[in-house]
Amino acid sequence: MLNCRTVNQVGNCYEEVCSAIDQKTLYIHQAQKKASMRLVGAYHGCPGSATEKYYVSEFPKRDSVVRCMICTVAFGMGIDIPDISHIFHFGISASVLSYWQEVGRAGREGQAASAYFFATAASKYHKPIPDKGMLSLVEKLSGDAECARVEVLQQLTVDGMDRSTMDSLKQRVPCAEDCTELCDCPLCNCCNLCERRCPCTQ
């Protein structure tokens, strides 16, 4: 799922993604080259429209024609989609809480899932305007932050909350430096900031 902040961005991303995929791959049936047979879907907020109804019923299916959904965050709110494995954010979310809820749509069945976040400069001004917490998170992540997960959780922690998860995240031990294959340590399995701190990647 690729989340955009504006309707225009949805259109632009859709064009980009579709043009990057060759025509043979893009359509599920070569004989029927119509939009509903494309593996890539786009929804930019026309509630009640036939397009919305199609994607809302199609995308959550396990054998959905649509493998990649490009949309504003309003798409499918409240619908549980079991098998999303990647969430992309093209632009800054309105708040850290919204961001956490949005990435929480992936890996619903406990499967491995990843989130990719592109903080485009223009998205600072897209409505709803991102709140202070979100802007300071973005600043931290592009500055001296050590772990994206810790930074997000820190923003969501309020006084009196159980801090054990946070403490255990801070005490993770990386690998012993001699991984011959792909590193599978707690740092490499966290985020790209953690991965960069692993001895293996030095």
Instruction: Name the site residues for Zn ion (rule: CB under 5 A).
Output: 147, 149, 175, 179, 183, 185, 187-188, 190-191, 194, 198, 200
Torsion of CA 2, 82, 152, 129, to 10 degrees: 40
Nearest distance from C-beta of residue 123 to Zn ion, angstroms: 23
Nearest distance from C-beta of residue 161 to Zn ion, angstroms: 20
Nearest distance from C-beta of residue 115 to Zn ion, angstroms: 12
Nearest distance from C-beta of residue 141 to Zn ion, angstroms: 11
* Identity of the residue, 18 or 153, whose beta carbon is nearer to Zn ion in the bound complex: 153
* Identity of the residue, 32 or 180, whose beta carbon is nearer to Zn ion in the bound complex: 180
Nearest distance from C-beta of residue 129 to Zn ion, angstroms: 27
* Identity of the residue, 13 or 188, whose beta carbon is nearer to Zn ion in the bound complex: 188
* Identity of the residue, 17 or 169, whose beta carbon is nearer to Zn ion in the bound complex: 169
* Identity of the residue, 141 or 188, whose beta carbon is nearer to Zn ion in the bound complex: 188
DSSP the chain: -EEESSHHHHHHHHHHHHHHS-HHHHBSSTT--SGGGBSEEEE---TTSHHHHHHHHHTTSTT-S-SEEEEETTTTTT---TT--EEEEES--SSHHHHHHHHTTS-TTS---EEEEE--GGGGGSSSPPPHHHHHHHHHHTTT-S-HHHHHHHHH--TT---HHHHHHHT-----S--SSS--STTTTT-HHHHHHSGGG-
